[in-house]
Amino acid sequence: MPAHPSPPPGEKKDRNYDVTFEEERTTKHALVDMSTIQLKAEDLYDKDKVDIEQVELDDVWTLLQCKEEGLTSDEVRRRLDIFGPNKLEHKEVSALLQFLSFMWNPLSWVMEGAALVAIALSNGGGKPPDWQDFVGIVLLLFINSGIGYYEERSAGNAVKALMESLAPKAKCRRDGRWSEIESADLVPGDVVAFKIGDIVPADCRLYDAINVSIDQAGLTGESLPQNKHVGDQCFSSSICKQGEAEGVVISTGANTFFGRAATLVGQDDDSTGHLQKILAQIGLFCLVSIGIFILLEILVLYAAFRYAYRRGLDNILVLLIGGIPIAMPTVLSVTLAVGAQQLAKYKAIVTRITAIEELAGVTILCSDKTGTLTTNKLTIDKTTLKTYSTFSADEVLLLAAYASRTENMDAIDTCIIGSIPSPALAREGITLLDFKPFNPVDKRTEITYIENATGRMKRVSKGMTGIIIELCSRNKTVEVENQLEKDVEEFAARGLRALAIAFEDVPSGNKDEPGNGFELLGLLSIFDPPRDDTKQTIDDAQALGVRVKMVTGDQLAIAKETGRRLGLGDHMYPAKVLKDGGVAESGSKYKNLDDMILDADGFAGVFPEHKYEIVKRLQGLGHLCAMTGDGANDAPALSRANVGIAVEGATDAARGAADIVLTEPGLSTIVHAIRQSRIIFQRMRNYSIYACAVTIRIVVGFAIMAFAFEFDFPPFMVLIIALLNDGTIMTLSVDRVLPSNTPDSWDLGEIFAQAVAYGLYLALGTIAFYLVIVNTTFFSDNFGVENITEANDYGLHMIIYLQVAQISQALIFITRAHGWFFMERPSAALFGAFLVAQLISSIIAAYGDWGFSAVKGISGGYIGITWIWNIIWFFPLDLVKFSMRALIKSWNAKRGKGPGTQIKHPLGEDGEPMSRTTSRHESLYGNRVSFLKKAQGSMGLEKRVSISGADLQRFSSHQTGAAGAALARGTSRH
C-alpha cells in the first residue's frame, strides 16, 4: 500500500484539537399519522407510534394540542384526570397491619398455638382452663411485637420527614399569564420557564434557550454540564447551571426519565431477604428439635406412662413455651435498629435495617464515579497545566480568571475562579472595559481591560483549543502547534477536558479595535476530582476485605484517570463488552463474561441496565454486593444490590432505592458502616448461638427428666424464664464486641454444633442437680437445708426453676466472647440487666408461693446452693466452647474449607444468591410483606398516598443541606 503523501510546504495541516462529546440530534417525525394519536399516555409515550423526545418541535405542539400562551385552567383539570399529578406514588402500610405482621411468622404461630392450647384444650382432670399461661403467652407476643413495631415504624418516619420537608415550585404560563405553581400540578402541554439555579420541574422540550447549560449528572452520570439548544430535551430533576429557557412539558410523573427509573426500582419485591432466610433456617432448627421431643413425649408419657390428658399436655406446653425462641425476630430487630441509630451518628440513615446484616458480609462494593468517588465539581488540575510563552502557570491561571465571569458563573468559570487564591483577584488591579460571555457560536470568552498599575489596555480570551489557536498569530509556530496537539491528545487519553488561554495588548487604547495579535499562553486541564477522603476510604475498605469496583456512565478515559488517582487501578472496560459477552476478542484471557466482570477494576459508559446486570452477575457468583450512587440512573442497581447506599445530595430516586442514605459528603461513612455492621453481626451471631442452645437445654433437659423421673415442670415457670431471658438479651443490642477483619457470613453448621454442645452440657447440669437433691442427702447434711425426696415437690420445682433461669442467662457471656469470658468486658447495660434478672429470679424463688403453678418459695439456703452450683458448672462452659471450635476447625480442614475461605451464601431455587430484591416463595420469615399486601386488600385498608413533590427534584446545594438536616432530625425517632 502506498504511503500517504505529505502535505506540500506551506499547505496547512489538518489538526484535531477538540474532542467534543455532544451528540448530534437528528430530527424525526411520527411513525404514524399524527391525527390518529390521541392525547393520552398510551399513545404519546408509545415509541412505535411517535418518539415525542425526538420529533420536530412543531410536531410536539401539535401532538400536545397546546400553544406558547399556555393551557387554560379547564384544560389543566382535564389533563390532570388523564395523566395524573406530576409526582410518584407509593402505598402506605397500615399501622395496624404492620403491628400484626410481627405476629405472622412460624415461631409466633407456635406460640399462638400454645396460647390456644392453654385456653381451649387445657380442660380436664377437674381443672379450669390455663388462664395464667394464656395471658403470659399473649403478653409475651405483644411485648415482642410492640418493640419490633416501634423500631421499624420509627425508621420509616426518618425518610418520610425528609420527603415532606421540601416543596418544589415551577414557573408556568397558564391562561396567558406567568405564575408560580406546585411542580406536582404540571401536566403535559404546560409551558414552563427556568433559569440558572432552577430545577427542571418535568421532562420538556425547549422552544426558547439562551446560553443554557444543564447539569444532568444525577440522571445520566455525565460529569460535565450539557449545553442545550432550541428543540433539545431537558430531564426532570436536572439543574440549570447557566442561561435561561422556556419549554413545553412533554411528560410528567412516572412517564419522565426520572419516573421510569423509579418504576424499574419498584418492580423489585422485598418479600424474602438474606437475613430472613438465615432466620428461617435457625427457626427451622428450633422447630424440628421441639417437634422431635414433643412427639417422643406423646409416645412415652401417654402410651408408656399412661399420663392423664392434662398432665401430659402441661409437659408438652413446657417444651413449646420454653423451646421456641419467640423473641428472636424482636431481639434481632432491636439489635439492627440500635445499630441504625449508631450509624446515624456518622450521618448515615438506614432505611432498611436488615441491610446492616448484609453489609457485614459484603465482599464487593460497586461504586458510581460522578458525585460518589468524585466531587461532581469541575476543577483545574494545576499539576498538568501547560505553558507556551514566558508567562508562569500562576499568571496563566490569573489571566484565565480575568476572562471568566464573577457573577452568574457557569461550571467552567466557577472552577477557574476557584483555582486562584481568592475570587477577588479575578477583578483586582484591573478596570473592566468589555466582557464577551461564552456562546455556542464563538465558543470562547473574552475580556478587555486596563491594567491599573501600568495603564495599558490588554485583552484575554479563553475557550476551546481549536478556536483559540486559530485566533493566535504572534507565537503560532509549527513547533507550538505540534506541542499543543500532543498535549491535547494526552489530555484526551486521560479523560481531561482542555481549555486554551490567549493574550494580546491593545496599543490603540480603543476597546473596539483589534490588538497586536493574540499569543497562546497555556492549556488548562479540567476534571472532576476525587473527594478528599475517597482514596483512604477505598484503602480502608480493601483492608476490610471488600473489593471496590467503579461503575460509571462517564467515558472510559475519564474512568481510568480517576482509577489511577485513587489507586483503584485502570483495568477497566467500556460498557459494550457487556453486550459482546466480554470474550469476543481473540486471545482474551477470560473464559466468560463473569470472569471478566469479577477481574475488572470497573466499567465506563454504562447505562442503568448495565449497572443492574453487573451487580446481578456478581451476586450470581456468590458475592454480597453493595452499590453506591447519587443519581436516578443508579437507582435500579441500588435496588438490586444487597446493600444500596445513596450518597449525600442524591436524587430522591436513588434515596428511595437505597438502604442507607448518607447526609454528609464523602464515603468515609461507608467504612464506619462496614465496621459497625460487623459489630452488629457479631451480636446477632452471639444471640443465635444462645437462642439455639437454650432451645436444646429446655427440650432435651425437661424431656429427659420427664422420661426418667416423671418430673412435671410447671409451664408458667417456663414462661417466667422466657420473659426474664428476653429482658436480659434485649441489652445485647448495645453489647461491646469487636468487628472481624474479613466479611462475615453465617456458618449455620458451626452455630448449631456449638448450640447443641452448650445445650446438652446445661441440660446435664440440671439433671445432675436434680439427682443430687432427690437421690442424696448431700445438701441437707452439709448445708442444713430441707431434704427433698418427692419428684414433683413444689419446692423442687422452684429450685429447678432458679437453676435453669440463672445459668441460661449466664450462657450469653460465653457465646459473646471469642476467648475466655472474663477477658472481654461486656457492656454495662448487659451486665446490669443480667444482675437485675438474677435478683428478680432469686426474689421469685424466695417468695413465689403460687399454688396455681405448682411452686412454693424456698429457703435462702437452697437459693445459695443453686447459685454455687451454677457457678461451678459455668466455668467449664469455656472449655466446651474451645473444644467445639477445635472439632469444627478439624472438620472444616477435612472438607478443604480453610479459615480464609469465603463461604458461599445460600442460593435460591433458581441458583441465584438470596438477594433482598428477588421475589421467591414465602418462607418462615419471608412472608410479612405478602401478608401485608393480602390483608390490606381483604380488609379494605389499602390506600395510595402521594410522596411530596421533592421526589421529582435534583437537590441544589441549599436543598441538599436542608435534606441532611431533615434526616438528622428524623434520627431522633429511633
> What positions carry a catalytic annotation?
368
Rounded to whole angstroms, the Cα distance separating 384 from 392 reads: 13
Rounded to 10 deg, the angle between the 328-344 and 715-729 helix axes is 10
Element (H, E) at 206: strand 203-215
**Residue 350, Cα to own-chain centre: how many angstroms?**
7
Q: Are 44 and 63 in contact (CB under 8 A)?
A: yes
The half-sphere exposure of 286 on its side-chain side, counting CA atoms within 13 A, is 31
- Dihedral of the alpha carbons of 388, 392, 393, 399, in degrees to the nearest 10: -90
Long-range pairs of 903-912 with CB within 8 A, sequence gap ≥ 24: 903/745, 903/746, 903/747, 904/622, 905/274, 905/361, 905/622, 905/623, 905/624, 905/745, 906/274, 906/277, 906/278, 906/281, 911/620, 912/616, 912/619, 912/620
Rounded to whole angstroms, the Cα distance separating 826 from 808 reads: 17
Name residue, grid cell 430516586. 653
- Dihedral of the alpha carbons of 943, 949, 951, 955, in degrees to the nearest 10: -160
Long-range pairs of 299-305 with CB within 8 A, sequence gap ≥ 24: 300/706, 300/707, 301/706, 305/710
Rounded to whole angstroms, the Cα distance separating 219 from 652 reads: 11
> In Å, how far are 113, 145, 321 from 103, measured between CA atoms?
12, 7, 15
CA 20, 24, 25: angle at the middle one, nearest 5?
Answer: 145
Rounded to whole angstroms, the Cα distance separating 60 from 51 reads: 10
Buried b (16+ CB within 10 A) or exposed e, 324-356: bbbbbbbbbbbbbbbbbbbbbebbbbbbbbbbb
**Which amino acid appears at position 636 of this protein?**
P
Element (H, E) at 16: none
DSSP secondary structure code for residue 913 in this structure:
B
Name residue, grid cell 506540500. 8
Q: Take residue 713 and report the three cell numbers written for it.
A: 415442670
Say which residues have a Cβ less than 8 Å from residue 457's Cβ, sequence separation at least 6: 433, 448, 449, 450, 451, 505, 506, 507, 508, 509, 511
Nearest one of 68, 74, 469, 121 to 246, comparing CA atoms: 68
Nearest one of 204, 520, 144 to 328, comparing CA atoms: 144
Mapped onto helix, strand or coil, the DSSP state of residue 459 is strand
Q: Are 580 and 550 in contact (CB under 8 A)?
A: no
Region of residue 285 (phi > 0: left; psi between -120 and 50: alpha; otherwise: beta): alpha
Encode 792-841 in three state secondary structure.
Answer: CCHHHHHHHHHHHHHHHHHCHHHHCCCCCHHHCCCCHHHHHHHHHHHHHH
Name residue, grid cell 441465584. 912
- Dihedral of the alpha carbons of 406, 412, 415, 421, in degrees to the nearest 10: -50
Straight-line distance from the first to the last Cα atom of the chain, in angstroms, rounded to the nearest whole number: 76
